[in-house]
Amino acid sequence: MNFAEIMFYIFATLTIGSGLMVIFSRNPVHSVLFLIFAFINTAGLFVLMGAEYLAMLLVVVYVGAVAVLFLFVVMMLDIDFAELKGGMVKIAPLGVPVAVALLVELGLVVGTWAFPKNAELARVHPYFTGAETSAVLDGPNNTEALGLILYTDYVHYFQIAGMILLVAMIGAILLTFRERKGIKKQDVAAQVGRNREDSYEILRPASGEGIKGKGA
């Protein structure tokens, strides 16, 4: 057993273990923390496969953003998990057979899986060179390889993905932004345009009468 294999078994065991803990831990916050742990271990598995870019992406996006968001949701929303679990018992008579049927179907599908020969892959995939199934040390690294095709062959998809993000942004603003009236804002032009004449006046109050007029 070499080092990579040992690391594989460590990461794989921890991933499966923490994946189970996500489901079985009673405290939802612990579930999310185990989910984060599972993500990090999966990132380790990706590194072993030579997909270091995907590994870093997993850490940045899933651990950094998605899981933290989960944590927020779980902590902010007061969800009664005992009640949710009670509902599960009620639908179990229907749910379990459906789940079993789906599992059997999936088993049948996966059972027919055959890895294609290199020649077949090359026929349907113009970029296939045969080296993709293992990490190549002297080739371009992941990030370079992605960059080489992302802005050339895949520019079409890249641009559509950009448009989708634009729509998401418009939607978020359209559905949640409300212009509030009567809040105090800084108006730089008004501040700069303020001059001496508008700003003060000299009053000469008569004795015993106090101040009357503009400044009062």
Partner 1 sequence: MTFWDQIDYAYPEIFLALAAMGLLILGVFIGDKGSREIGFGAVGILIIATFLTGFNGSADRVSIFDGAFAIDSYAVFAKCALYLGAIFAILLSDRFLVREKLQRFEYSILILLAVLGMSIMVSATDLIAMYLGIELQSLALYIMAAFNRDSRRSTEAGMKYFVLGALSSGLLLYGASLVYGFSGATNFAAIAEGAAAGGNNIGLIFGLVFMVSALAFKVSAAPFHMWTPDVYEGAPTPVTTFFASVPKVAGMVLFARFLVEAFPSILDQWQGVIALMAAASMAVGAYSAMQQTNIKRLMAYSSIGHMGFVLMAVAAGNNEGVSAMLIYMTIYLVMTLGTFALILSMRRPEGMSEKIEDLSGLSKSDPARAFMFTVLFFSLAGIPPLAGFFAKFFVFLAAVNAGLLWLAIFGVLMSAVSAYYYLRVIYFIWFKEPVASFEKQTGAAISVTAWSSTLFMVLGLITLIGPLRLLAEKAASVLF
**CA 19 and chain centroid, separation:** 18
Q: Select the residue interacting with partner 1 from 86, 171, 205, 215 (CB under 8 A).
A: 171
- Which residue in the set 160, 194, 203, 215 belongs to the binding site for partner 1 (CB under 8 A)? 160
- Candidates 74, 37, 75; CA nearest to 59 is 37
Site for partner 1 contains 73 (CB under 8 A)? no
| CB count in 10 Å sphere of residue 58 | 21
CA distances to 87, 106, 142, 214 from 101, in Å: 21, 9, 39, 84
Whichever of 5 and 153 has its CB closer to partner 1, that residue is 153
For the chain, how long is the longest CA-to-CA vector?
106
What CA–CA distance (Å, rounded) separates 127 from 144?
15
Least Å from the CB of residue 153 to partner 1: 5
Q: Does residue 148 interact with partner 1 by CB under 8 A? A: no
Compare residues 107 and 213 and give the one whose CB is closer to partner 1.
107
- Contact between 10 and partner 1 by CB under 8 A: the answer reads no
Identity of the residue, 14 or 54, whose beta carbon is nearer to partner 1 in the bound complex: 54
At 181 the three-state DSSP class reads coil
In the region spanning residues 78 to 117, those forming contacts with partner 1, defined by CB under 8 A, are 105, 108-109, 112-113, 116
- Residues 44 and 54: beta-carbon distance below 8 Å: no
- Is 170 an interacting residue with respect to partner 1 (CB under 8 A)? yes
Chain contacts with partner 1 (rule: CB under 8 A): 105, 108-109, 112-113, 116, 120-121, 123-126, 152-153, 155-157, 159-161, 163-164, 166-168, 170-171, 174-175
